[in-house]
Amino acid sequence: MYASKYEDIWFIEGNPLDARVIGSTQAKLNGLFFQGQLKSLNDVKKKMAKEIRKSGGNALVNFKYGQKSSFWSSIGSWDDMSWQGSGDIAVVPADYEGSD
């Protein structure tokens, strides 16, 4: 399973055996004047990391993310790209190394 660390929070595309789930979260970055093409996955992680810390976690397991646009972009040259992410807030051991 793939894992990366951002701002001292693990983002794990799976569920390690030693993870203790304490909640869930999701984030979406969008809007007509959002300039989604200038945003990145790190912007989603930054927003989610704040929520994870607030909940007492140090990881997001079952992390899913993506980028999409709606039909509005076909009508004009509007930038309506959105980034989204979701997963389960968890606590993993301090010595977690990102592999299982």
Q: What are the extents of the domains in the chain?
A: 3-91
What local confidence, expressed as pLDDT, does residue 76 receive?
Answer: 53
**Selecting from 1.20.120.420, 2.70.150.10, 3.20.20.70, 3.30.110.70, what CATH number does the domain 3-91 have?**
3.30.110.70
State the pTM of this model.
0.81
The answer to whether 91 and 43 are in contact (CB under 8 A) is: no
Q: What is the mean pLDDT of each run of 10 residues along the chain (100 residues)?
A: 94 96 92 55 94 97 86 54 91 85
* Phi-psi group of 79: left, alpha or beta (phi > 0 → left; psi -120 to 50 → alpha; rest → beta): beta
pLDDT at 36: 45
Residue with tokens 């807030």: 89
